[in-house]
A and B are shown apart, each in its own frame.
Chain A
Amino acid sequence: MKMQTINTDFEVSTLDEAGINESKLTDKWYQYLRYSIAGMAFGVILIKSEVISWFRIQEMFHLQSFHMYGVIGSAIIVAGISVWLIKKFNIKTVYGEKIEFHRKPFSKGQIFGGLLFGLGWAITGACPGPLFAQIGSGATVIAVTLLSAIAGTWVYGYFREKLPH
């Protein structure tokens, strides 16, 4: 399996098969601000629902509360129905482009990486989105955790070809 040619990153679509699904549109910097507004709404929801709370994460992993399961479960259901509706009614983007979905292959990385991330999630009480929200909420020391996470990302990139996938 040649690693360079297979995109194992579920979140990066511009690396799929030489840009078949790539949007031809380019945005000016201020047009990107709409994503900041979406991120802001997401951040507010994360804080107000307490899913970024270290305490709630501990409850989840001790099966002491339904809260986190309810949040993640209902988010998946609403996201799934939305995706189904977009496909069914062929809903376009605001620019009239066809909405693309990207399928990614299975790799053993989802198992090994998933387990490692799970360990980190339970220690810090945060996944990547919540790290940003926690910093914004005033827990400034979490900036160190974020820098360490970026370092972890870099080290993964460095050793990637030697790791089983």
Chain B
Amino acid sequence: MAFIEWLRQPWPWYVAGPLIGLVVPVLLIIGNKTFGVSSSMRHLCAACLPANISYFKYDWKKEQWNLFFAGGIILGGVISMGLLADPNPVQVNSKLATDLAAYGITDFTGTVPKQLFSWSNLLTIKGLIMMVGGGFLIGFGTRYAGGCTSGHSIMGIATLQWPSLVATCCFMIGGFIMANLILPYILAL
């Protein structure tokens, strides 16, 4: 079972990155589909609550492959944690670990810090800003931009579309502003 043991370790960037890149030709070849995840949320709106809004009045069933793809990602998460879980906490830069400890974040297990993202924190001010506010920005921002990290940064740039490069630069600028200038104040709440 040495192979399974090997799979359980965190995968290095030079393995994971190329594999993510290969999702693009796989989707093109198995069905002429354009890689992109955030549009699944638009299709869910169109399917469940179109409310006569023109942006949601289209035949979402023609794009339903995207919902199957998103559902698969959830399953992938379940499988990773069930069969391939790495029991060790994520190894982060020691400077970051020290900085986070100052805000009481000391548990580095799991994909999100349990001391911030938990049901018991949901109805605190910090929890509402981070879980509800953060989610809202993701949904609003990705549709306003017309794509997300997969649709713009990977698919868009790989097909040499300069608007996607602009979008990606703006994703990064927004992220740097939040992580360095705003998030410290939110974490201190």
From A36, A72, A97, A141, B32 is in contact (CB under 8 Å) with A97
* Total residue contacts A-B, CB cutoff 8 A: 544
Contact in complex: A45, B11 (CB < 8 Å): yes
Closest A residue to B8 by beta carbon equals A48
A107 to B147 Cα, complex, angstroms: 12
Contacts of B26 in A (CB 8 A): 38
Contact in complex: A39, B76 (CB < 8 Å): yes
Chain B contact surface mostly: helix
Min C-beta distance of B160 to chain A, whole Å: 8
Contacts of A70 in B (CB 8 A): 13-14, 17
A97 to B157 Cα, complex, angstroms: 24
Min C-beta distance of B120 to chain A, whole Å: 9
A3 to B71 Cα, complex, angstroms: 30
Contacts of A72 in B (CB 8 A): 17, 149, 153-154
Closest B residue to A13 by beta carbon equals B34
Contact in complex: A118, B72 (CB < 8 Å): no
Contact in complex: A76, B153 (CB < 8 Å): yes
Instruction: Give me the 7 closest cross-chain CB pairs, A-B, nearest first.
Output: A43-B76, A118-B174, A136-B77, A39-B72, A113-B144, A114-B170, A78-B21
Q: Please list the residues of chain A having a beta carbon within 8 angstroms of any beta carbon in chain B.
A: 3-4, 8-15, 22-23, 27, 32-62, 64-68, 70-80, 82-83, 85-86, 91, 93-95, 97, 99-107, 109-142, 144-158, 160-161, 163
Q: Please list the residues of chain B having a beta carbon within 8 angstroms of any beta carbon in chain A.
A: 7, 10-42, 44-45, 49, 51, 53-56, 58-59, 62-66, 68-81, 84, 86, 90, 92-93, 95-96, 100, 108, 110-113, 116-119, 122, 129-164, 166-180, 182-183, 186
Could you list 25 examples of A-B contacts with CB < 8 Å?
A: A9-B42, A10-B34, A11-B34, A14-B62, A35-B65, A55-B90, A57-B179, A62-B93, A71-B17, A72-B149, A99-B32, A110-B146, A110-B152, A113-B143, A117-B141, A120-B136, A120-B178, A128-B142, A135-B74, A136-B73, A145-B117, A147-B135, A148-B134, A152-B139, A152-B143
